[in-house]
Structure 1
Amino acid sequence: MIRTLLRVLGPEYAQAMRRTVVLMTVTAMAEGLSYALLVPVLRELFGSTPDDAVPWLIAFGAAVAVYAVLRYVSDLSGMRVGTKMLHGMYYRLGEHLARLPIGWYNSGRVGEVSVMAGRGLLRAMGVSAHLLAPFISALVTPLTIVAVMIAFNWQLGVAALIAAPVVAAIQKWTARSMADADADRHERDKEASDRVIEFLRAQPVLRAGGRTGERFELLDDSLQEVQRSSRRTVLAMLPGAVGLTVAVQVAFTAVLALGTSLALGGSIGAAEVLTILVLAARCADPLLSLSDIGAGLRGAQSELERLDKVLSTAPLPEPREPVRPVDHDLAFESVTFRHGDRTVFDEVSFSVPQGQRLAVVGLSGAGKSTLLQLLARFYDVDSGAVRVGGVDVREIDTEVLMAQIAIVFQDVHLFDGTIEENVRLGRPDADDADVRAAATAARLDEVIERLPGGWEANVGEGGALLSGGERQRVSIARALLKNVPIVLLDEVTSALDPVNETAVHEGIERLTAGRTVVMVAHRMRTVRRADRVLFLEGGHIGEEGSHDELLARNGRYADFWNISMAPAVSD
């Protein structure tokens, strides 16, 4: 487990963790060695001259004082390292998650990351603060005491030492039997987290269906599975705990019987037998605590392995010698891209000259949004190249690439904060005049005027306190404030009412003026303003040209256009 912990921590914290482990080991050895002084103390007390025990008592007191200081220092070191590690690991995990390909975030990742970033990370990083010192003490202190016993009487020492492999075997067997239970518990926890999130998101549907008073069966079932999994975990742990207790008690009884036999045979005196029993009792106490400590360590080990798996997931590689593009034209060159078992693009090529607009249309699932994501390098292509300004995006530093691109998604996510804070995400160092100008250009000022609090109005988690059109205006204002040469638009008006659609279109016109634009079009009216149109079909470009050219060909695009515009014509 220590190796996994050090690997997860990385070089920044690994050295401090090693020092803490060494300090805790020395502390545990000091505790065991201090008990060695009980041998001469008890021997003198039960001898003919009890006063001779005074110097040994003083030495024993000094040894205990040294141990107490070491224990304080080691525990304090463990707490400090644990606190720093927890703080650092939150940042490391967050930065790593931000660099992982978007494809990594499938539907099952939400609950997994939620559990990992909450209880999982606390449990894993709490090892050094709460579990490591007791665990090391439970192993090293008894072994040190046994070494003292062997030095004092090899027969009794060997008898005590026989318990070590038995205890180790029980711990290994328990860990193996608990592994499946722990994995099952993790899966149930993740499933329950997913169901809780689903239950919260499903409230509008449940209420619209008049089911607010009913139990949500999926959530109920998942919580019952968590309860059953917890019961299985306890039952799996019980045999190991009982076995450990029995093994330690049998070993203690064996040492007691052997000591009694040796005393009756005259090999050792009563004082020596009493000393051995005291030392054996000191061995038994920490060994018995291994059951509880082991359960905590196994849980932490499972979380560490899951954390290590996530941190070992390779992010998109950064170029060793990054190239900064000068121009802002875009191009796909023989791009092939697969998502799982599905080929989304197969040898696709096209270009967008600097300052022009490209509209991308096609049936659902044709890869329109994926095309935008490849341009922004949310994924890397399997073959071919995506170029910005003639430079392969894989050769551009990620921060430099994203500084050239503004993206307005169909589903806008706003952070729980004020409108101004969300707009300033586009350019945090912008002055107030630029922020206000961007809001006016996006017609966000109309929203701000009617909201209580104005610029300080809170948008709620995910922007829940704003309508879809209002969230889009915030997103457009954010992109306007960023003021970059390339704009990617993903069906931004597909679900807006006419008033908001008009306002958003005006904001988009200001946003795209003079810039290189790629827009995924859902409402076909927006296609007319594009310089060129791509019609995606079956992983290929079915047709390409201007809107009027494609209509004149009377091909697949013309059919798609006629079907899309039919409701508008009938109205």
Structure 2
Amino acid sequence: MIRMLLRVLGHRYAGPVRRTVALMTATAVVEGLSYALLVPVLRELFGSTPSDARPWLIAFGAAVAVYAALRYVSDLSGFRVGTTLLHGMYHRLGDHLARLPIGWYGAGRVGEVSVLASSGVLQAMSVIAHLLAPSISACVTPLTIVAVILAFNWQMGLAALAAVPLVAAVQLWTGRLTAATDAERAEHDQQAAGRVVEYLRAQPVLRAGGRSAERFQTLDDSLREVQRASRRTVLSTLPGVLGLTLTVQAAFTALLVLGAHLALGGDIGAAEVLAILVLAARCADPLLSLSDIGGQLHGARSELGRLDKVLRTEPLPEPGEPVRPSRHDLEFDAVTFRHGDRTVIDGVSLTVPQGRRLAVVGPSGAGKSTLLQLIARFYDVDGGAVRVGGVDVRDVDSAVLMEQIAIVFQDVYLFEGTIEENVRLGRPDADDAEVRAAATAARLDEVVERLPAGWATEVGEGGALLSGGERQRVSIARALLKDAPIVLLDEVTSALDPVNEAAVHDGIERLMAGRTVVMVAHRMRTVRRADRIAFLDGGRIAHEGDHEELLRSSARYADYWNISQTPV
């Protein structure tokens, strides 16, 4: 458990964790040894001169005081280390998620990551703060007491020692029983979290269909599965709890019978038997708590395993000797890319000279947006190469590559904050004049002027407080402020009203000026000014040329163009 915890956290935390474990172990040993003083205390109390017990009582009180001080220090150390580990774990998980390829974030990942980042991390990191001390105490203190019993009477000590493998076997058996149900419950938790997100995102569709008052069947089904899995998890722990209780009670009964037999035979005094039985009873409490602690530890271990699996997912490799492109032309050289079992891009070869514009058109699912993502190295190609300035993107440092590229997506995501803060994401060190100039070029200034709070207007989570056209203007202003030499545009006007579309087009024209551009568009009139047009179909280049050339040579392109010109 500790080994996995250190692997998940990294070796920088090994020292504090090991010191805390050593301190908690020493505390548990002192607790067990302090109970050993009960034997001479009770022996003297039940002897001929009870007053002789006074020194032993003082020693027992001192031992308990030492234990209390150690317990305070060890618990405080556990809380402090646990808080540090929690902070470090969130940072490590966040940094790692930011480096994973976009392709990793497939179906179901939203639920998995949301559960991991919330309850998963808290449960895993609670081991140090809340579970480690009681679990060590539940194991070490009884073993120490058994050693004490052995020192006072070897027969009863061996009888107590015989219970140790039985308790260990019950715990292992319980762990195996709950392992499968824990994994099942975690899977259903992730699915339910994903369904909740889906339900929230589907509100516009549900309400448009007049179904806002209805229950969301898929979400209900997921929640019912979570309930069933939780019930199975609880039921799977019952045999272990009952088995542990019976084992502990049977061991105590055996000690009682053996102690009575030895006392009646004169092999041991009644006071010693009573003291040993008191010690055995003291063993029972931490042993019985093992069922509860063991279940929590097993759940935490399962979460650690899931965290470990995510952290072991390899990000895209960084070049050992990165090369910085000196030019800004683009090239697809026999590029092949597969997503699962499906070939999305199949042997595509294209060139975009520096400062020129390439438009990519074609039916939905043809792989148009994937081409943009390969340029930005959201994925690595399975065959061929994508080059920027003649350099394979895999040989360019990721940070350097992203410095060269500005991306404007169809679905704009804005971070919760003000309009100005979202624009400044393009270049945080830009001065006010540069921010205002970018806003003017994107025609965002028109939006800012009509809002009561102006630049300080809060956009809400994801930009929910702004319209689609307003979000696009923020996105274009952000890209203009970045001033990258390569611009990637993905369906930026496909869902805008005419007024916003005209404003966004103005901003896009300013953004594209003098830059290398690859644009994906469904609205064919946006591609007329491209220097080159590639018609993509089934992951392959079906036709390529300028607008007029394709109208003459490609019936499919001509059909697309004619349909786009037909009034609705």
TM-score by length of structure 2 reads 0.97
Distance 1:482 1:176 in 2: 55
2:182 touches 2:302 (CA, 8 Å); kept in 1?
A: yes
**Quick one: structure 1 residues 220 and 67, their matched pair in 2 at CA, closer, same or farther if it must change by over 3 Å?**
same
Q: Secondary structure at the match of 1:413?
A: coil
Superimposed CA distance per residue, residues 443-492 of structure 1 (whole angstroms, 9 cap, x where no aligned partner): 01111122231111111211111111111111000101111111111111
Question: What is the CA-CA distance between 1:58 and the residue it aligns to?
Answer: 2.4
1:354 is matched by which residue type in structure 2?
Q
- Secondary structure in 2 aligned to 1:462? coil
- For residues 59-98 of structure 1, the C-alpha deviation after alignment (integer angstroms, 9 at most, x for no partner) is 2222222211211111111101111111111111111111
Q: Distance in 2 between matches of 1:393 and 1:305?
A: 33
- Corresponding residue of 1:339: 339
For 1:139 and 1:37, the matched residues in 2 are separated by 20
Question: Partners of 2:509 and 2:493 in 1: how far apart?
Answer: 13
Note if 1:156 corresponds to 2:160. no
Deviations 1:220-242 (A, max 9, x none): 22222222222221111111111
Amino acid in structure 2 at the alignment position of 1:148: V
Of stretches 216-225 and 182-191 in structure 1, the one that deviates more from structure 2 is 216-225
1:412-461 CA deviation, whole Å, 9 max, x = no partner?
A: 11112111111111111211111111111100111112223111111121
Query: 127-136 vs 238-247, which deviates more?
Result: 238-247
State the partner residue of 2:558.
561
List alignment gaps of at least 5 residues for structure 1.
none
1:5 Cα offset (Å): 1.1
Instruction: Report the secondary structure of 1:426's partner residue.
Output: coil
Q: Secondary structure at the match of 2:378?
A: coil
- Partners of 1:539 and 1:214 in 2: how far apart? 40
Q: For structure 1, which segment, 51-60 or 482-491, has the greater mean C-alpha deviation from structure 2 after superposition?
A: 51-60
Higher mean displacement: 521-530 or 38-47: 38-47
Separation of aligned partners in 2, 1:134 and 1:560: 71
Deviations 1:342-364 (A, max 9, x none): 11223322221111111111221
Which residue does 1:456 correspond to in 2? 456
**What is the CA–CA distance in structure 2 between the aligned matches of 1:334 and 1:176, rounded to whole Å?**
51
1:291 partner amino acid:
S
Amino acid at match of 2:559: N
1:214 Cα deviation after fit = 2.3
1:422, 1:358 → 2: CA distance? 28
Q: Match of 2:34?
A: 34
| Kept in 1: contact 2:550–2:557 (CA 8 A) | no
2:287 alignment counterpart: 287
Equivalents in 1 of 2:31, 2:339: separation in Å?
58
1:8 CA displacement: 0.6
CA distance in 2, matches of 1:222, 1:310: 23
Q: Distance in 2 between matches of 1:275 and 1:562?
A: 96
Deviations 1:172-230 (A, max 9, x none): 11111111211121122122212221221222222222223222222222222222222
Report the equivalent of 2:109. Answer: 109
The corresponding residue for 1:129 is 129
In the alignment, what sits opposite 1:538? 538
Report the counterpart of residue 435 of structure 1 in structure 2: 435
Residues 78-93 of structure 1 correspond to what in structure 2 (within 5 A)? 78-93=78-93
Structure 2: distance between partners of 1:459 and 1:546? 40
The answer to which of 286-295 and 424-433 deviates more is: 424-433
Give the alignment of 1:1-16 within 5 angstroms. Answer: 1-16=1-16
In structure 1, how many angstroms separate the alpha carbons of the residues matched to 2:242 and 2:316? Answer: 49
RMSD between superposed Cα atoms in Å: 1.4
Structure-1 separation of matches of 2:217 and 2:452 = 39
Would you say the 8 A contact 2:551–2:557 is kept in 1?
no
Q: What SS does the corresponding residue of 2:335 show, helix, strand or coil?
A: strand
User: Secondary structure at the residue paired with 1:529?
Assistant: coil
For residues 315-368 of structure 1, the C-alpha deviation after alignment (integer angstroms, 9 at most, x for no partner) is 111122222111111112222211111112233222211111111112211111
Gaps of 5+ in 2: none
Letter in 2 for 1:561: A
**How far 1:48 moved relative to its partner?**
3.0
Query: How far apart are 1:567 and its partner, in Å?
Result: 4.7
* 2-structure distance, mates of 1:567, 1:140: 77
Please give the alpha-carbon distance, in whole angstroms, between the structure 1 residues aligned to 2:317 and 2:564: 47
Aligned to 1:298: 298
Q: How do 1:169-568 residues align onto structure 2 when only pairs under 5 Å count?
A: 169-552=169-552, 554-555=553-554, 558-568=555-565
Deviation at 1:570, TM superposition (A): 4.8
Maintained 8 Å contact 1:360/1:521: yes
Residue 279 (structure 1) shift: 0.9
Q: Distance in 2 between matches of 1:34 and 1:468?
A: 70
**Would the aligned equivalents of 2:550 and 2:558 in 1 still touch at CA under 8 Å?**
no
Q: In structure 2, how many angstroms separate the alpha carbons of the residues matched to 1:339 and 1:214?
A: 36
Alignment partners' CA distance in 1, 2:476 and 2:562: 26
Deviation at 1:33, TM superposition (A): 1.4
SS state at 2:333 partner: strand
Equivalent runs, 1:137-156 vs 2, <5 Å: 137-156=137-156
Q: Secondary structure at the match of 1:226?
A: helix
Deviates more, 1:29-38 or 1:310-319: 29-38
In 2, Cα distance between equivalents of 1:48 and 1:561: 114
Determine whether 1:76 maps to 2:73.
no
Q: 2:562 & 2:52 partners in 1: Cα distance?
A: 107
Checking the alignment, whether the CA contact within 8 Å between 1:524 and 1:565 is kept in structure 2 is no
8 Å Cα contact 1:524-1:561 kept in structure 2: no
Distance 1:296 1:358 in 2: 57
TM-superposed deviation, 1:114: 0.8
* Matched residue SS, 2:228: helix
- Between the two proteins, what is the percent identity of the paired residues? 76
- The count of aligned residue pairs is 568
TM-aligned CA deviation for residue 30 of structure 1: 1.3
Distance 2:319 2:496 in 1: 40
Return closer, same or farther for 1:52/1:436 CA change in 2, 3 Å cut-off: same
**Aligned positions of 1:36-55 closer than 5 A:** 36-55=36-55
1:301 is matched by which residue type in structure 2? R
